[in-house]
Amino acid sequence: ITPYSPLAGGRLSKPVGETSKRFLEDQYAKSKYDLTKEQDNIIIERVLELATKKNVTMTEISLAWLLSKGAIPVMGVTKLSHLEGIINTNNIQLTNKEISYLEEPYIPHKLVGILAENRG
């Protein structure tokens, strides 16, 4: 499985409330994530909590979760630190309890864009 938008448009790589140009301008991501923002923020806080506990980045925790599911995330890299984080992800092992902790508050997001338009 190759997940689309493995970091939820950057939301899984920054603490709740921290913003970026993409957060402010990406209307596609807003249409996908704004409806579940409150529930998603619970997950983002849990990602931050585990990242702090393991002394790694939120991105590394998010990608380690995807790898634990057998997914192969495709990442865009614009900085050397991004690449180093992706490589370090292979050294992170999440316990079943930590995986459940991340997944417990999740609710599915609505399909948007071409995925929503292609109904048959």
What gap in Å lies between CA 39 and CA 107, rounded to an integer? 7
Number of H helices, E strands in the chain: 7, 0
Q: Are 110 and 85 in contact (CB under 8 A)?
A: no
Q: Are 99 and 39 in contact (CB under 8 A)?
A: no
Model pLDDT for residues 74-119, shown as the tens digit of each residue? 877 888 888 888 888 989 999 999 999 999 999 887 777 666 676 6
- Which pLDDT does position 60 carry in this prediction? 94
Phi-psi region of 17 (alpha: psi -120 to 50; beta: other; left: phi over 0): left
- Which pLDDT does position 55 carry in this prediction? 96
User: Model-level pTM?
Assistant: 0.85
Model pLDDT for residues 30-79, shown as the tens digit of each residue? 777 888 889 999 999 999 999 999 999 999 999 999 999 998 888 778 88
